Structure 1
Amino acid sequence: MLFRSFAAVAALLAVCTPVAAQDLDLRAQVAAFVQPTNEARTAVVVAQLRAAGFEPTVETFVGGTERSGPMEGRNVVVTLGEGAREILLTAHYDAVKLRDGTMSHGVVDNAASVVGVIEAAKILRGKALNHRIRVILFDQEELGLIGAKKWIEAHGLTNVAAVVNSDVAGYGDTMMYGQNNGAQSVAVTRAVQAVCSARALQCVGYPEYPPSDDRAFSAAGAPVVSLGFQDEVGAHQMWLAFNGGEANGLAEGFVPRVFRLIHSGEDTIEQVDPATVRLAGDSYAAVVEELDRRLSE
């Protein structure tokens, strides 16, 4: 019996250790984004993409706001495969500046999404797809979706078949998706729903979803969906806050946890669950594959 117990433990360790090691690595990758400037975060994006075997391109632009004045921004781009049309997989990597002048750690918003997108790119790299996949990690989202708008200005959307955006994917096992990106985005939403069903993934669709870089693409007429992750209770609380109206049942003045975290000093690595980052990467890759299949039919 004792030898059987040892054998069982050894077998369990053999199964669990690779996942545990991957989670430790994902946590370290997210934590690496805690930097004093967004320029330093650019360097982290480039380094992580190169470590994953990609050769990224850094596209600079003049951004900023009236308050900040002109600021150089940097979108980081990786292209996978070939095809006349392309599916964009996007997230922003910049963090917001807090009221005291320091940078938010910006891990829930939005380093965890960036690492999840890189994980998805690693999965997609080995797939035989009919579309070119362009991974774009945007700068200056926090200043008003500037990086996304500048990319659209520079490249146009003629060859863009669909856009999958990720924002806030640091914890929880419930995938949230926006349904408010126009009639042109219905097919993208249905692809997300198909993945949720096929994978038995808990998903919550929002008739009204908080804005991210998806809004730049929907305003320009592109088919797009924005995705994120949260715990189940938090996802439904946020749904009620945005879509429940006056009869939402939430306590007066209630603010969902995710909105207490982001854009604050509480957005720290302790809030991030690497299992969510791994789940996000798997799910985003599955959505892109489903879109590739549907758009090719």
Structure 2
Amino acid sequence: MLFRSVLASAVAVAALLSTPAVAQDAEALKAQVGAYVQPSNAERMNVLVAQLRAAGFNPTVETFEGGGRAGPMQGSNVVVTLGPDTGAGAKEILLTAHYDAVKLRDGTMSQGVIDNAGSVVALIGAAKILRDKPLTHRVRVIFFDQEELGLIGARKWIEAHGVANVAAVVNSDVAAYGDTMMYGQNNGAQSAFVTRAAQELCAERAMQCVGFPVYPPSDDRAFSAAGAPVVSLGFQDEIGAHQMWLAFNGGETNGLAEGFVPQVFRVIHSKDDVIEAVEGATIATAGATYAALIQKLDAQLR
């Protein structure tokens, strides 16, 4: 009976995704992700700003002096502000993702769609949902530059704005395929309530979720280092998520074959990070999930 019910659920989900309207939406989201396949991060930023404006937002571009080992390089963080104008000193909730892609060893740019244009389009979707909600906190949706150079965009934003008014941060990285949400649990005691909110949402939505005591670093680490409450989220297929959990948390007896590298780490930062691997349905799920998590935190922080 259990097998039959699981099989019936899987068939029902497959049938839903095969309907013309849902399939069209998924393809449209995948096309939005594909637009970020550009020869430079500056051009990726232009795509981001254009998509935000097309969605009815008025983004702010904050430039900074960053760069990596190759020398100084101007970067640009892109910000959309939602919710009430609560005035100076009021607590804010941040929803973040980086839009830059890594430069490969041969000097070309990665397509950077799994890492991390999928998250970017998901955040735009979340922002579209949130602008129609009765929020009590100001919400800033921030798209960071130069994450691939060492979390520089996030660090520069913190330098410019501080974290005294930051009540919670939700970060997304590598969210472009699969139906299993991963969340980090290693951002300090101050982040426990944000992690708990993510866990509650997983239970309420009957989502497949995997918590990582040790989770790969992203822009969340800049915020946890500054003492801000933060959780980092991503999506992957269920098997890949568990393999990644074992690789980071299973120790010497993790059961993985010697030298095994989880698929996601063979894809990102490589020529295999390509649009064909992106699933539009995941982008839609991630956007709706992030919006729901922000609403949950907005209610809990009253």
- Length-normalised TM-score, structure 2: 0.92
State the match for 1:75 in structure 2. 77
Which of 57, 64, 68 in structure 2 is aligned with 1:61?
A: 64
- Counterparts in 2 of 1:97-112, with a 5 A limit? 97-112=103-118
State the match for 2:25 in structure 1. 22
Instruction: Determine the C-alpha separation between the residues in 2 that align with 1:43 and 1:68.
Output: 23
Instruction: Determine the C-alpha separation between the residues in 2 that align with 1:49 and 1:76.
Output: 10
1:33-52, Cα deviation, whole Å (9 max, x unpaired): 00000000000110010011
Instruction: Determine the C-alpha separation between the residues in 1 that align with 2:40 and 2:70.
Output: 14
CA-CA distance at 1:20 after TM superposition: 1.7
SS of the residue aligned with 1:167? Answer: strand
CA-CA distance at 1:16 after TM superposition: 2.5
Structure 2 gap segments, 5+ residues each: 1-14
Instruction: Determine the C-alpha separation between the residues in 1 that align with 2:91 and 2:138.
Output: 6
State the match for 1:93 in structure 2. 99
State the match for 1:290 in structure 2. 296
State the match for 1:6 in structure 2. none
The answer to whether 1:52 aligns with 2:55 is yes
Structure 1 gap segments, 5+ residues each: 1-11
What is the identity, as a one-letter code, of the residue corresponding to 2:64? F
What is the identity, as a one-letter code, of the residue corresponding to 2:251? G
Instruction: Determine the C-alpha separation between the residues in 2 that align with 1:17 and 1:258.
Output: 30
- Counterparts in 2 of 1:265-284, with a 5 A limit? 265-284=271-290
CA-CA distance at 1:235 after TM superposition: 0.2
What is the identity, as a one-letter code, of the residue corresponding to 1:179? Q
CA-CA distance at 1:17 after TM superposition: 2.4
1:201-249, Cα deviation, whole Å (9 max, x unpaired): 1100000000000000000000000000000000000000000000000
State the match for 2:38 in structure 1. 35
1:169-201, Cα deviation, whole Å (9 max, x unpaired): 010000000000000000000000010000001
State the match for 2:136 in structure 1. 130
Instruction: Determine the C-alpha separation between the residues in 1 that align with 2:200 and 2:261.
Output: 31
Pairwise CA RMSD: 1.1
Instruction: Determine the C-alpha separation between the residues in 2 that align with 1:31 and 1:295.
Output: 36
SS of the residue aligned with 2:175? Answer: coil
State the match for 2:237 in structure 1. 231
SS of the residue aligned with 2:67? Answer: strand
The answer to whether 1:179 aligns with 2:185 is yes
Instruction: Determine the C-alpha separation between the residues in 1 that align with 2:74 and 2:20.
Output: 43
CA-CA distance at 1:128 after TM superposition: 0.3
State the match for 2:4 in structure 1. none
Size of the aligned set, in residue pairs, is: 283
Instruction: Determine the C-alpha separation between the residues in 2 that align with 1:207 and 1:239.
Output: 9
State the match for 2:254 in structure 1. 248
CA-CA distance at 1:18 after TM superposition: 2.2
State the match for 1:170 in structure 2. 176
